[in-house]
Amino acid sequence: QIQLVESGGGLVQAGDSLTLSCAASGRTFSNYAMSWFRQAPGMEREFVAYINRIGDSIYYEDFVKGRSTISRDNAKKMLYLEITNLRPEDTAVYYCAARRPHTSNVRTESSYEYWGQGTQVTVSS
């Protein structure tokens, strides 16, 4: 199994940028596709972005498309999510999640085996 620990969250102002990190430990990180999800207060957790094992297949949810970049460094066992032009509606706990190759849609939470504890992002207007 692998363990995931997110960092990089905080309180920022609207229009700022932020880079979230997810550090993995344990088994081979490169065996897992990775995604970011988020959960706003009182809302269901939702998909944000996906990257496959080698980083050549990437998807973004519409609300971050064009202002977000997901990336990974397999040698360092790290996953990143940069979000620019942050909006108050981006306020949420952000989670990284890992899954082995799977046929389910990348948005399917149950297809992910491992989850981090989350990092809080708060965007003030």
DSSP 3-state of 110: helix
- Residues 89-123 have pLDDT tens digits of 999 999 999 999 888 899 999 999 999 999 999 99
Could you tell me if 37 and 26 are in contact, meaning their C-beta atoms sit under 8 angstroms apart? no
Question: According to DSSP H, which parts of 5-121 are helical?
Answer: none
pLDDT, one tens digit per residue, over 14-64 is: 999 999 999 999 878 999 999 999 999 999 999 999 999 999 999 999 999
